């Protein structure tokens, strides 16, 4: 689980294009209009950016330029640097002063679109719910949901018992998506039967296809939905022991507004499943690509916690951290980024930086050089990191134990990736399951 997906997105503009290189700027880099080659494998492009300069500039037709930071040492420093701000309303005003038609998602008010002191106040309300003790207490619930979903896959594959029957499932649709969203539903006390609605809203909000109307509808529908559930609880004087009750009690104490409750729930619904969905898909694909590493893991599934850390580094579910802007000129590796410029910190590029990780483009499940930035850092570090790792550990352990002979049910070149620079995830992962 992560909170990095529902925050201020990269400015929704027309297609990026290379700009003119000037001595005071780094070399301008693509991708252009999120081409399929970048979506399926962004790492060659990110490696070129790392090699060429500490900062690359991406221009957009009709949109503000973006300064992209790809090197580990610079990304990590920027994550902790308050001069890279995230306040969405200030960012929107800045964007509006440059160009028209840029939507930074200010319709949603939450922690990742705020800076202190608002960020501090908002995070304090929910941080106890994601403490190590409370996350560990969720283990039985996550295990139960995982086994129920795997039982469903067994039904879909005619309850494999002989080892000779095979069937194809979509791991994203049938397992990776419902697992974290059902966990979030239990955490919030939301109806699990509405999970497809949550996925529809999430897709409209986080993908970078420039569909402002779909984005606006999703935000409005989600807000109405959340407040309707809250109103029903108030009318019935219902206070179940879940996170929504805690948010409503915080509102009673004057610590949250209605808009902030909606934003917090949106952040949890979207961020609470996006990272795990993407991570489960890319982790399974990585194992299918590397039989040697898969065999090492299957030989002792208690190694899974270490493996999950490497899955996070190797194919980070958040490729670009949410957009920041500079509040004063900032030197990054000898390149000065002026004040009031939009900046993207590439977590995916940083986690493949050879200056930080040995042989970074290779999956090494017992890797010793820890320190990936998949969950960000600083005050905006993913609040749900522990829960996301717990979900992935339990899910992959149970999946490999139940279906050790799973194989890819299509050519890898035919896999479809989500159309966004921010997220790194598969639209679908068809697998042939064997018991």
Note the pLDDT of residue 156. 61
Beta carbons of 130 and 21 less than 8 angstroms apart: no
* SS3 of 273-301: HHHHHHHHHHHHHHHHHCHHHHHHHHCCH
Note the pLDDT of residue 34. 54
Pairing of strands 430-433, 407-408: antiparallel
The pTM of the full predicted model, rounded to 2 decimals, is 0.88
Averages of pLDDT over each 10 residues, the chain, 435 residues = 34 34 41 66 94 89 82 98 92 82 67 89 91 95 96 68 68 94 92 88 71 79 91 88 92 91 87 90 97 97 97 95 94 96 96 97 94 94 94 97 92 91 92 83
**Following DSSP, what letter does each residue of 191-212 receive, concatenated?**
-GGGHHHHHHHHHHHH--S--H
Measured between alpha carbons, how far is 239 from 38 in angstroms, rounded to an integer?
47
Say if residue 223 is exposed, middle or buried (CB neighbours under 10 Å; 0-12, 13-18, 19+). buried
Note the pLDDT of residue 23. 31
How far apart are the two ends of the chain, measured CA to CA in Å?
A: 29
Coil vs helix vs strand at 426: strand
Note the pLDDT of residue 165. 60
Q: At what angle do helices 258-289 and 243-252 cross, to 10 degrees?
A: 150
Question: Looking at the DSSP assignment, which residues form a beta bridge with residue 318?
Answer: 423
């Amino acid at each position: 689980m992560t909170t990095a997906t529902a925050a201020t997105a990269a400015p929704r503009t027309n297609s990026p294009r290379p700009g003119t290189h000037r001595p005071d700027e780094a070399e301008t880099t693509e991708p252009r209009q999120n081409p399929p080659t970048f979506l399926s494998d962004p790492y060659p492009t990110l490696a070129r950016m790392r090699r060429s300069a500490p900062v690359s500039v991406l221009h957009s037709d009709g949109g503000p330029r973006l300064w992209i930071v790809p090197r580990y040492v610079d990304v990590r420093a920027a994550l902790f640097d308050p001069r890279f701000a995230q306040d969405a309303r200030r960012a929107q005003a800045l964007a509006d002063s440059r160009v028209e038609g840029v939507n930074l998602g200010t319709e949603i008010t939450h922690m990742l679109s705020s800076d202190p002191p608002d960020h501090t106040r908002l995070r304090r309300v929910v941080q106890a719910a994601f403490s190590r003790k409370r996350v560990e207490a969720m283990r039985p619930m996550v295990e139960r949901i995982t086994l129920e979903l795997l039982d469903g896959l067994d039904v879909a594959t005619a309850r494999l018992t002989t080892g000779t029957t095979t069937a194809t499932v979509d791991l994203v649709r049938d397992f990776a998506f419902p697992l974290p969203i059902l966990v979030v539903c239990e955490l919030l006390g939301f109806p699990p039967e509405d999970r497809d609605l949550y996925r529809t809203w999430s897709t409209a909000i986080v993908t970078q296809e420039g569909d402002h109307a779909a984005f606006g509808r999703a935000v409005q529908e989600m807000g109405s939905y959340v407040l309707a559930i809250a109103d029903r609880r108030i009318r019935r004087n219902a206070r179940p022991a879940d996170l929504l009750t805690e948010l409503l009690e915080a509102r009673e104490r004057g610590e949250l507004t209605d808009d902030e409750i909606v934003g917090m729930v949106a952040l949890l619904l979207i961020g609470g499943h996006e990272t795990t969905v993407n991570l489960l898909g890319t982790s399974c694909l990585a194992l299918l690509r590397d039989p040697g590493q898969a065999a090492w893991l299957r030989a002792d599934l208690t190694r899974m916690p270490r493996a999950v850390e490497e899955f996070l580094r190797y194919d980070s579910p958040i490729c670009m951290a949410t957009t920041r802007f500079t509040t004063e000129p900032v030197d990054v590796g000898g390149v000065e980024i002026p004040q009031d410029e939009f900046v993207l910190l590439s977590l995916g590029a940083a986690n493949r930086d050879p200056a930080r990780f040995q042989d970074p483009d290779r999956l090494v499940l017992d890797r010793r050089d820890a320190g990936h930035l998949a969950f960000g850092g600083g005050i905006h570090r993913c609040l749900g990191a522990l829960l996301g790792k717990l979900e992935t550990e339990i899910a992959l352990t149970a999946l490999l134990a139940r279906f050790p002979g799973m194989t890819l049910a299509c050519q890898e070149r035919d896999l479809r990736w989500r159309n966004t620079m921010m997220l790194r995830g598969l639209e679908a992962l068809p697998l042939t399951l064997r018991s």
